Amino acid sequence: MDIQIQWFPGHMAKAKRQVQDALKLVDVAFELLDARIPVSSSNPMIDQILGQKPRVIILNKSDLADPSITKQWQRALDRPYIKAIAVDTIKGEGLKEVPRVASMLVAEQMAKLAAKGRRPRAIRCMVLGIPNVGKSTFINRLVGRKATKTGDTPGVTKGQQWIRTQGSLELLDTPGILWPKFEDPEVGYKLAVTGAIKEQVFDIYEVSLKLLQWLAEYNPEKLKERYRMNELNPEATKLLWDIGVKRGLLVSGGLVDESKVAQLILKEFREGLLGRYTLDLPPM
């Protein structure tokens, strides 16, 4: 699975410095991951950068992930200074937990400040995550208004800004420059099927074939139901063709428009119409 994206060490070093400088200003970090791919949607330097800084891991898009595996991930990620929350930023589910958990993680630190006679203040939080994981929507939901530009194009956020929420938090947004590392082709594939990277940089047809093969093995009944088929062709190329015929995605001469079928499969997978799946499994 050849996905043409470069991981520039120089850019990563700059991103690391920016985050480390900002860390001095914050009490807790919010790390956004895609609940369907918690490993593939992370930046490999985050653990090193954050160290034991209190951290809330936001498993975003949890409405599209397998709920039982999301619970396993929450247990696997749990540390004394790390708590994971399953969130759906589009519907706002799970967001009420965020300020509560952040307060719990920094309670001791805030108590020390109070003991020194410091006045109570908002909890300062930094929002981290790779492009297109949902940082802007997450911030807008917490703030209760359109505080940052949002979009489904990776890399919408361009600069740093502090934003006050309606509650007890102040948020520092960071540019979406913490890219994942693409050395493992499986990581690239998972980012492609979940929509984390632009479709111009990978072969949509090849990615959709691999996804279709996996879906046919993992949950054939859902595919049959969605595309109204009695049987699934064991060959992914022929199965994609059959779906094209069923959906009427044809070109002149009655041939299937394979590109349109590939786009349809990816779109319906990303929207949860083919089922709720988690592609990265937690350690046993």
* 106 annotated as a binding-site residue: no
* 103 annotated as a binding-site residue: no
DSSP 63: G
* 248 annotated as a binding-site residue: no
What contacts 105, CB < 8 A, 6 or more positions away?
28, 54, 55, 56, 81, 83
Question: In residues, how long is the chain?
Answer: 284
Q: Are 41 and 196 in contact (CB under 8 A)?
A: yes
* 137 annotated as a binding-site residue: yes
* 16 annotated as a binding-site residue: no
Residue with the two structure tokens 């994942």: 180
* 207 annotated as a binding-site residue: no
Alpha helix stretches (DSSP H) within the chain: 9-23, 46-50, 67-77, 97-105, 107-115, 135-143, 185-194, 204-218, 220-227, 236-247, 258-270
* 133 annotated as a binding-site residue: yes
* 224 annotated as a binding-site residue: no
* 251 annotated as a binding-site residue: no
* 280 annotated as a binding-site residue: no
Closest CA to 31 of 14, 55, 61: 55
* 40 annotated as a binding-site residue: no
DSSP 181: P
Longest dimension (CA), the chain: 80
Closest CA to 281 of 61, 15, 68, 64: 68
Indicate the annotated binding residues. 60-63, 132-137, 176
Indicate the annotated binding residues for GTP. 60-63, 132-137, 176
